Amino acid sequence: MNTVSPERAGIKSCQIKRFIDLINKRGLHMHSMLMMRGNDIFYEGYWAPYNKDSIQRMYSVTKSFVSCAIGLCCDDGLINLDDKIVDYFRDKIDTPLDENLKNQTIRQMLTMTTARPVCSWFSENDPDRTHLYLNHYKKRRPSGTVWEYDSAGSQVLSSLVERVTKKSLLDFLKERIFSHLGTFENAKILKTPNGDSWGDSALICTLRDLASFGRFVMNYGVHNGKRLLSEEYLKKATTKQVDNTEDGHRAIFHLGYGYQFWITEEGGFALVGMGDQLCVCIPKYDFIFCCTADNQGNERSREYLITSLFDNIIDNLSDTPLDENEMELKKLKELTSNLELYRVTGQADSELRAELNDRVYLCDENPMNISEFSFHFDDKDSGYLSYTKDGNKLKLDFCVNKNRFGYFPELGYSKDVGKVATTNGHKYKDAVSMAWLQDNKIMIFAQIIDEYLGNTSLIFGFNGDKATLMAKKAAEYFLFGYEGLAIAKRKM
């Protein structure tokens, strides 16, 4: 990948600066961003502490990688898209086979027009997600009829790849694609409880890795003049195969669906992951946009991000290079060098700080099982929340109006295997900021910035000797104990 100025790529530096300023103004929790035309990167930025070497969970972007692995299996004659999925997993079927599921094809799974209604494997005890998919949930519909997001189906496709190739998903992709691209050297994929690759959600790689894959797909399977994957398959994968309308409202990524790729405006396609892990490719303009973020819990972030991208960048791309503008490029570089991870902000201080310092509040019974809490302030700029939860004394360090980086105090969250608790004292890296929202109101915002992403907002309101704690979390299968309401009274 080469690096050029925005103007060389046909876009003004000031347009990119405006785009980033708008994103920051709207409080989006961005981690990284990259834009390319051809093989040239014309913008790359990271919100500290993230950098170009940071690997990050791509969530459902992983599904598009599985799609390409399926395409390779077709190229090798190992499968056919119109094969019935059940024929590959007869050994995993131990209940009467539903007629609708019996007829479900690999192609229908790629387009998410499956027989199986949506459900979450996190609420089930079956460690084998393919077995769960084929045997549980009797309510089915005719496959090939309507589109509905089926993450579990994508996981089964990943398991299909591993079954027919006798290789892990990552090893197969490294051998056939990644080794040629020269990227994904530090990539990995988390596992499901039965040892399968977590193929619908858990590829971990760098932003540049993702961009290189976007370029490979937009080249329709050719790299450095060598064909690695069928052009016919990728052209179908990245164009509308089915309608994916869910209601009468226009949505940014409901313009059609391919084979585990989303269709965009301007005839483009996208790889889309929870929290706004994105790779948007517009062949018409030879343009690629990639970003990572953790906007879980923000229902408007993706719509705003992509709409702003089209309005400010894509709609202003020129077919020819523009005159260089050193002044505007310098402003963009200064902005980029000062990007920092989102943090909550408010008043610099409050008269209540001295009164709250080290005062213990006892909580009524609450869904979080927090029995007491207190604030300790080192000074007006930092401190920690001390609290007892599930009988354990915990401590959450913070800085005021900026992030403090450390480790979230909970033990036992999943590491390499989804849904499986660790027993070795494993903790997630975090970034914690605190803000005085008003004189008697505090917010603590904790962001998990590890191989799992998530966040929780803890809002404390005080009135005399009484207090209320409201907590809300946004994370996949963790931080459950950080959501709910607690009423508290100061300990005398």
pLDDT per position in the chain (492 positions), as tens?
A: 899 999 999 999 999 999 999 999 999 999 999 999 999 999 999 999 999 999 999 999 999 999 999 999 999 999 999 999 999 999 999 988 888 999 999 999 999 999 977 678 888 889 999 999 998 866 789 999 999 999 999 999 999 999 999 999 999 999 999 999 999 999 999 999 999 999 999 999 999 999 999 999 999 999 999 999 999 999 999 999 999 998 988 889 999 999 999 999 999 999 999 999 999 999 999 999 999 999 999 999 999 999 999 999 999 999 999 999 999 999 999 999 999 999 999 999 999 999 999 999 999 999 999 999 999 999 999 999 999 999 999 999 999 999 999 999 999 999 999 999 998 889 999 999 999 999 999 999 999 999 999 999 999 999 999 999 999 999 999 999 999 999 999 998
DSSP state of 315: G
- Cβ atoms of 203 and 273 within 8 Å: the answer is no
> CA geometry: angle at 153 spanning 252 and 412, to 5°?
95
Mean pLDDT of the chain: 96
DSSP-based three-state secondary structure for 161: helix
Q: Both tokens of residue 251?
A: 């949505």
Architecture of domain 352-490: Beta Barrel (2.40)
- 193: cis peptide before it, omega within 30°? no
Q: What are the backbone angles phi and psi of residue 304, rounded to the nearest 5°? A: -65, -45
- Residues in contact with 459: Cβ distance below 8 Å, sequence separation at least 6, in sequence order: 437, 441, 442, 443, 469, 470, 471
- Cβ atoms of 272 and 264 within 8 Å: the answer is no
> CA geometry: angle at 459 spanning 456 and 465, to 5°?
145
pLDDT of residue 277: 98
DSSP state of 147: -
DSSP-based three-state secondary structure for 221: coil
Q: Both tokens of residue 449?
A: 């910035």
Domain boundaries, the chain: 1-54+206-342, 352-490
pLDDT of residue 138: 65
Please state the pTM of the whole predicted model.
0.97
pLDDT of residue 250: 83
- Cβ atoms of 356 and 373 within 8 Å: the answer is no
Which H or E element spans position 306?
A: helix 301-312
- Ranges of beta strands (E only) in 124-211 are 188-189, 203-205
pLDDT of residue 424: 84
pLDDT of residue 207: 98
**What is the homologous superfamily of the domain 1-54+206-342 according to CATH?**
DD-peptidase/beta-lactamase superfamily (3.40.710.10)
HSE-CB of 251 using CA atoms within 13 angstroms: 16
pLDDT of residue 268: 98
DSSP state of 176: I
